[in-house]
Structure 1
Amino acid sequence: MTEYQVIDTSAGLDAAIERLRVGVGPVAVDVERASGFRYSQRAYLIQVYRRGSGVFLFDPPPIGDFRALQDAIGEVEWVFHAASQDLPSLHELGLYPATLFDTELAARLLGHQRVGLGAIVEEELGITLEKAHSADDWSTRPLPQSWLEYAALDVLHLIDLQEKLVAELEEQGKTRFAREEFDAVRDKAPKPLREDPWRRLSGLHTVRGRRNLAVARALWEAREAYAQEQDVAPGRLIPDRAIVAAVRAEPATKQALASLKEFTGRASRTQLDRWWSAIEAGRATSELPPDRVASDTLPPPRAWADRNPAADLRYKAARPVLEEHARELTMPNENLLTPDFLRRVSWDHPGDDVASISAALRALGAREWQIEQTAPLISAAFIAGPPAEPTATATAAAE
């Protein structure tokens, strides 16, 4: 077994950079975080591999400044598996690829049934990877050697895998599709902050009344502040279900809150004063949240026949056409076109012509290859309408 060392000094980073500079070809990159353990989504390990250079495991917190690494490899193609998961953590450190290749996304476009790294490496390269540490706490120090080996293997085979997938994309005529998808992942803007993030509390739908919603909001905000202060995942302090249970129980005193068996979590009793103060603040506030907030989310398609019959007919006409085209292209429906985009153009109806539908899809964020593949089909389906339901007579004759 290879003995891997973690690089945690500026001097170590500089030495690794010199070796990376003399390597050849793209660099494979992966990130390990401590999701579910820490509040932040910061990188706790960055793995980099380049042919002719080797594997390097960088410890971001003690190194801090990665500008030299960006200068060394920033213009080289970076190969990821599920790049969208790793890029935000890399961006926090000032690391941005000029171009990237995503092996997971390529596998999806190619129609592979299983696209996890272990599955695709085994299918394409015949190598079995152990995936035993993906959910571990990567903020642990020192990192066990078995974890380091796992982390190294996440990048060690990515370049070989990329070469296989590049050839398959070319064979299937999907090289341009993939390049546009990769560029979209690279350029995707961060998600805007939710206006009322506390409304994502699991089980909040069972809370009734604006005053109780104010208490739930106050408890969520108190937990969030303490989690950020301690750099601990909020759910490890008190889980969502404990917050909702406390709100619904409406305890009259701090002691009643403490005796509530559903109020669980490692900080449920040690920070009891904090939670009780939040409950009191929620009960005292004059700024009561509305029961519901306005949303531009579309109703579920099953409700369209009653709420927007014309949109329902358009959607029922276009969806099976796109599903059939996805099968012809051997790729998932959602990769041919984001399902919500079809729902949007069906509901909003920019027009039946290709140009209007293309413009609407482009405004929603569809890539040019997706527009080329789908807009003419959607236009034709909108004009033709859904296939007629078989009549009872036709069904009996067929039987």
Structure 2
Amino acid sequence: MKSYSGLRDSSHFPGSSQVREFTQKSDPPVLPQHHLERARQFLWVDEPAQLQELASRLSTESRVAVDLEADSLYRYRERICLVQLCSSGVTALVDTLALGDLQPLRLMLEDASKEKVFHGADYDLRLLKAVAGINPRGVFDTMVAAQCLGVRQLGLSDLLEARLGVRLEKKFQRADWGKRPLPQAMVQYAVEDTCYLLALRDSLACELEARGRMEWARGHFLNLEKIEPLRREPPDALRTHGARQLDDQGRAVLQALLEWREEEARRRDAPVFKILSTETLVLLAKERPRNLQAMLKTSGITRKVLNLWGEALARAIEEGLRRPPLPLPRVPSYRQNPPGSRRRLLALKEIRDQKANQEGLPPGLLCPNSVLQALAITPPGEIQRRMEELLRPWQLGLLGSAFVQALLGGGRKDRG
């Protein structure tokens, strides 16, 4: 393994066909020595043999901190650009753009007996499932753990500063991780995103155990493992913010404009918001300018936009005007639900919100609205069974008796 004392060229990494180890020269935070070493030294992995070697090393570890860097702000279809991994024995940055395949890591990531520590795991798990076909198990999410403790400042940098005295640089959160070579500052940012996660996990887990809330967190971790892969939904005017301010024909025009933008973004390999904003498309659908000069009066349509896409936008508007009107779907009425369901739902929300406030928890973490809605329409004879299906034991302990009382005793005078 080749060793470098610092990154000689501040703009990129030196080339090598071997796993490379770098020693950072930054001033370390005050932490135990083994955490400092993880912050200073890491492996840059960009060849299949290196990845196999890394996977072999990680197979002996009981837990691994994991983070991903993607390029969703810069590409039409986001890619996993970098995977950061940190255990007690190794810290590594895996260049997935160079490798194109993460399968050697599958066994470790899908092994439920090995804990994978993420911060804000939701997006990373969805992306791993969608792009790599990997379904991580044994998840510990430090953000969820902090939520279960009633922490309000949930950013990684906030938690590290509060609990470990570590201050992280934030300026690369929205950077383009798809560019190569990566500047040294971005590489160090990526290393620091994981090298303190295990220590943070231990700090949070200790408090969760002391306060009897580890079971709460574990239940949410298991739910994260079942999360659906990231999917790209086709453009839908009826689900677009601002569609309600349009008439039926305007929504048909908006649908045509959204479809044009989607295709243009795909063709240019750019995120849709970098083509034209949804707000601008809604205005075009509302005003429906009949010529390019009139189009210039629409907010968001500059001379540059007009030169690039004026003709295409005009064609999309004409296409939308030829389509059948697109009415809003009929909103289901509470009257279609069992009598008293609305009153029961409001009672359940009040109970949930009060208990969440007492425990210092976000209401949705204590019990999501979707669960409350399902319980509110449950027939009396099925309430106990349904609650046991939808709620975990710790949730039943906090909410069960009050929920039963509200479900069995509420709604008699409610007409809908």
Classify the TM-score, shorter chain. 0.7 to 0.9
Report the CA distance shift for 1:12/1:199 in structure 2 as closer, same or farther (over 3 A).
Answer: farther
What is the CA–CA distance in structure 2 between the aligned matches of 1:195 and 1:367, rounded to whole Å? 35
Structure 1 residues 333 and 228: alpha-carbon distance in aligned structure 2, compared to 1, 3 A threshold: same
- For 1:314, give the aligned amino acid: R
Determine helix, strand or coil for the equivalent of 2:307. Answer: coil
Q: What's the CA shift for 1:158?
A: 0.7
Match of 1:43 among 66, 74, 80: 80
What residue identity is the alignment partner of 2:259?
Answer: E
SS of the residue aligned with 1:138? coil
| 1:149–1:294 CA distance, 2 compared to 1 (3 A) | farther
CA distance in 2, matches of 1:265, 1:35: 27
Listed one character per residue, the Cα deviations across residues 176-213 of structure 1 (whole Å, up to 9, x for unaligned) are 222221111111234787686333433323222x2221
Structure 2 unaligned runs (5+)?
Answer: 1-25, 27-39, 412-416
| 1:154–1:202 Cα change, 3 Å | same
The Cα shift of 1:72 comes to 4.4
Partners in 2 of 1:61 and 1:330 — Cα distance? 42
1:252 maps to a residue whose letter is R
| TM-score normalised by length of structure 1 | 0.81
Q: Which residue of 2 aligns with 1:99?
A: 138
AA at the equivalent of 2:285: V
Matched, 1:63 2:99: yes
Instruction: State how far apart, in whole Å, the 1-side matches of 2:231 and 2:403 are.
Output: 30
**Equivalent residue, structure 1, for 2:158:** 119
Amino acid at match of 1:154: D
CA distance, structure 2, for counterparts of residue 265 and residue 95 of structure 1: 46
Q: CA RMSD in A?
A: 3.0
* Structure 2 Cα separation of the partners of residues 266 and 57 of structure 1: 40
Checking the alignment, whether the CA contact within 8 Å between 1:40 and 1:231 is kept in structure 2 is: yes
Equivalent residues in 2 for 1:1-399, closer than 5 Å: 1=26, 2=40, 6-22=44-60, 24-53=61-90, 55-75=91-111, 76-91=114-129, 92-190=131-229, 197-208=236-247, 210-254=248-292, 256-257=294-295, 260=298, 262-264=300-302, 268-285=306-323, 287-289=324-326, 291-295=327-331, 310-346=340-376, 348-351=377-380, 356=383, 358-359=385-386, 362=389, 366-383=391-408
Q: Which amino acid letter does the alignment assign opposite residue 108 of structure 1?
A: Q
The Cα shift of 1:69 comes to 1.6
Distance of 1:198 and 1:45 partners within structure 2: 34
CA distance in 2, matches of 1:180, 1:265: 54
Q: Tell me the equivalent position of 1:397.
A: none
Q: Per-residue displacement from partner, 1:117-166 (whole Å, max 9, x unpaired)?
A: 11111222222222221122222322221111111111111111111222
Aligned counterparts of 1:254 and 1:361: Cα–Cα separation in 2: 61
**Counterpart Cα distance in 1 of 2:410 and 2:378:** 13
In the alignment, which residue of structure 2 is the partner of 1:396? none
CA deviations 1:256-292 (Å, max 9, x no partner) are 435655325975532333322222221223x432x21
Mapped to 2, the partners of 1:331 and 1:8 lie a distance apart of 42
Measured after TM superposition, the shift of residue 370 of structure 1 is: 2.4
Contact 2:45–2:51 under 8 Å retained in 1: yes
Q: Tell me the secondary structure at the aligned position of residue 80 of structure 2.
A: coil
CA change 1:379–1:73 in 2 (3 A) is closer
CA deviation after TM superposition for structure 1 residue 26, in Å: 0.5
- Measured at CA, do residues 308 and 96 of structure 1 come closer, stay the same or move farther in structure 2, by a change above 3 Å? closer
Q: State the SS of the aligned residue for 2:62.
A: strand
Judged with a 3 Å threshold, the aligned counterparts in structure 2 of structure 1 residues 99 and 264 are, in CA distance, closer, same or farther, namely farther
What's the CA shift for 1:11? 3.3
CA contact (8 A) 2:77 2:269 kept: yes
The amino acid of 1:335's aligned partner reads L
Deviation at 1:234, TM superposition (A): 0.5
DSSP-derived class of the 1:180 partner: helix
Could you tell me whether the CA contact under 8 Å between 1:207 and 1:247 is conserved in 2? Answer: yes
For the 8 Å contact 1:49–1:56, the answer to whether it is kept is yes
Q: Percent identity?
A: 27
Equivalent position amino acid for 1:356 in 2: I
User: 2:46–2:98: 8 Å Cα contact kept in structure 1?
Assistant: yes
**Matched position secondary structure for 1:78:** strand
